[in-house]
Structure 1
């Protein structure tokens, strides 16, 4: 095999692996390459390699995607294999294993970092669960994590406070890749906080590690100046916190409090689902004497997710 073909195959295998562990929509996988390979080689070698990098990979044994997702993925592989080559026993063995497994309301998603490590998270299989949207990873959190990987100096050696941390993707990525001195995850929903604590531990982060990590309950309506000063924050981040007009006012009041206590770098990343809600947020920032700059530089594409939505990153200052 020529070097360029080998590189293409390596890239395709990584695409399959990254998409599988992030539980990406199956239509987004590079099926066309697989179909062309089966057509030209009449061999199940590539399917075998894909299987080793997905369902049979040690990461899948430790942090498996949902049973339903693995069934659907294996069914798609079998569909292609049936049309192009001899049956692959290990493929049917893998399907038999998940067919006999019981599905649950929670699963694991793993996001592969450029260094080769993975951030593995326990998430809900439902977008809304237990009255909150905080038990899944949203696009803005993935975008913020990618931005952080491109701007590591913003976090290196600093104390970072994250508002509305959810299941922890952005923060864990920053802790694993950007060398902050201290990182404070925060949220207010009890179930989200429990999942967040579990995910932080799952990824080997504790108050005794470097960086020093803590998970704090933070109600935006009652956070005090003393609480903010105690943290001693240098950088503040938040992803997908501007989605409900009812919470925007308390968010702006908290941001105003944070900016009055010290002069941290403050970054808010939002998926603009409702322009009216997002515009209202910016208006309230202006009324509170808080200015913003839109960060326009492109980010490196690290994680697989839907990039059709409008995502905006802003930096706040007085």
Structure 2
């Protein structure tokens, strides 16, 4: 292979240049922590070749990519990312005009409270989401994507048969990452996104439309307001879910009781011949809260099994958090 197709890693291995560019691209569009980018490969290439070719390729796959023009990450993030590229370029090769032009474009731009994050699917498509820059915004945590939603989306990509041809209800959909991934990749017949916070519902509806999903598309998609403590039997029967999923909904002891009661109604309100499959994925931030959730499930006569098989890593996020996926049984 030609040198341009392989890059020497810091430990001497030869890796595909396309894989390094993909890592930069995936991390950039998901606005990952800059420290998690594969900078060492770039530094090694600059040391060996004194050429800005790899920096130019990285730039074309990130800030100059058409996806960035359409759904740009935050101004601040792009500014920091370009500054990191320039810092490394300055030490290793001649200046690259396009790099400084890209920085000039964002230096004077105003920061905004919202940004776009794009999560690249294995087939090359992107799930692009409007998210809040702040972790807590408008009194809710539902305007950003959390680890359990990313993990559940990865699990779904490895278990597409769970959703194929079925009606799926998602509780606490947030900005929509998991559900949109399932709609794009797992061929459900119908998908119902739901939440109860007005700001989250507005953002969720916008993201569903942003990704080309409507009631006229396949799968049929709808976004519903669903309050766990006020959902009616008529509403649940009308949805008629074969599969119910939820990610990062077990975080507040004050709302766990309402969630468990709703899950109990879903599991017991169906016909015994067609029991829905119920999957709950949680980032365990507070062990006491999570244990309390499981105890309340037991009191309602709901058992669970932990789905602890490996999943393919598709999206960039911290794997240090403890994430657990469980399947519920009445």
What is the TM-score with the length of structure 1 in the denominator? 0.99
CA distance in 2, matches of 1:7, 1:273: 36
SS in 2 for 1:160: strand
1:155 corresponds in structure 2 to 163
How far apart are residue 102 of structure 1 and its match?
1.4
1:240-269: CA deviation from partner (whole Å, max 9, x where unpaired): 000000000000000001001221000000
Which of 51, 58, 72 is equivalent to 1:43? Answer: 51
Work out whether 1:81 is the aligned partner of 2:81: no
SS in 1 for 2:325: strand
SS in 1 for 2:173: coil
CA distance in 2, matches of 1:101, 1:57: 18
Which of 200, 203, 213 is equivalent to 2:221? Answer: 213
CA distance in 1, matches of 2:229, 2:298: 20
1:54 corresponds in structure 2 to 62
1:47-94: CA deviation from partner (whole Å, max 9, x where unpaired): 000000000000000000000000000000000000000000000000
Which of 253, 272, 280 is equivalent to 2:284? Answer: 272
1:69 corresponds in structure 2 to 77
CA distance in 2, matches of 1:176, 1:134: 21
How far apart are residue 7 of structure 1 and its match?
5.5
SS in 1 for 2:250: coil
Q: Which runs of 5+ in 1 are unaligned?
A: none
Work out whether 1:285 is the aligned partner of 2:297: yes
2:18 corresponds in structure 1 to 10
2:102 corresponds in structure 1 to 94
SS in 1 for 2:145: coil
Over 4 Å off, 4+ runs: 2-7
Q: Which runs of 5+ in 2 are unaligned?
A: 8-13
SS in 1 for 2:221: strand
SS in 2 for 1:101: coil
- Trace 1:183-194 onto structure 2 (pairs within 5 A): 183-194=191-202
1:304 corresponds in structure 2 to 316
CA distance in 2, matches of 1:61, 1:309: 32
1:74-118: CA deviation from partner (whole Å, max 9, x where unpaired): 000000000000000000000000112111000000000001000
How far apart are residue 4 of structure 1 and its match?
5.3
1:217-255: CA deviation from partner (whole Å, max 9, x where unpaired): 000110111111111110000000000000000000000
